[in-house]
Amino acid sequence: MPRTDPAPAAALDPEPPRDCPICTRLVAYRAANRAAHPDWWNGPAPSFGDPNARLLVVGLAPGRTGANRTGRPFTGDFAGVLLYETLLKTGFARGRYAARPDDGLQLVDCMITNAVRCAPPGNKPETREETSCRPFLAARIAALPRLQVIVTLGDVARRNVLRALGLKTSAGAAGHGGRCEAGPYALINSYHCSRLNTNTGRLTPAMFEAVFETAKALLDRA
């Protein structure tokens, strides 16, 4: 799948500064968490993985006791267990996931990021916060020179990726397993790997693994 010219977002640093001041509500929440837990990361969660990745996984936002605590996406909360175990099983990671940023886990041909980089109250970012953080998502996408496939975890992440690429949110099918061509990329949507979705059976490990097997097949054919 050929890569088009980089978007203007490529000029922006794809990682926000540690004390990013853009979203007032998220800054206040960060300050409250920092006061209560000064040993936590308490900042925008940086993207994690291979800078030459052909696969990008996009979540919604860091969890308060997950990436906001540890400083690594999906690390330290329930969703990370299923995500990283699945990446290990499908060959997009190696090592051992121990829910710590120093566990030595490495991603292979894969990077993980979030549409909103700072933890929001109640795990629910506001629309204006999604909009404000979207330039960083667009820059992250543009900064991956070999990117071919994007997996979105949840419909909000899917919509943010499409908007970051300058596309209408109706451009791709919603729901688990929905696929579309998003500019030069293949986009695959999955239900989010949250405790709620897995406990209710809305998302099973087999369903989640199938998404990444599809991503692998698309990369193998490229």
Q: What is the DSSP string of 119-164?
A: PPGGG---HHHHHHHHHHHHHHHHT-TT--EEEEESHHHHHHHHHH
* CA gap 127, 205 in Å, rounded: 30
The pLDDT score that the predictor gives to residue 7 is: 40
**pLDDT digits over 129-165, tens only?**
999 999 999 999 999 999 999 999 999 999 999 999 9
Running DSSP on this structure, what letter comes out for residue 6? P
**pLDDT digits over 88-107, tens only?**
999 999 999 999 999 999 99
Q: Is the predicted pLDDT of residue 1 greater than 60, yes or no?
A: no
The pLDDT score that the predictor gives to residue 172 is: 74
Torsion angle defined by CA atoms of residues 74, 61, 168 and 141, in that order, rounded to the nearest 10 degrees:
-60
Nearest partner of 117 among 74, 62, 183, judged by Cα = 62
**pLDDT digits over 19-43, tens only?**
999 999 999 999 999 999 999 999 9
For the chain, give the mean pLDDT: 93
How large is the angle between the packed helices 205-221 and 78-89, nearest 10 degrees?
Answer: 40
Residue 189 phi/psi, 5° resolution?
Answer: -100, 145
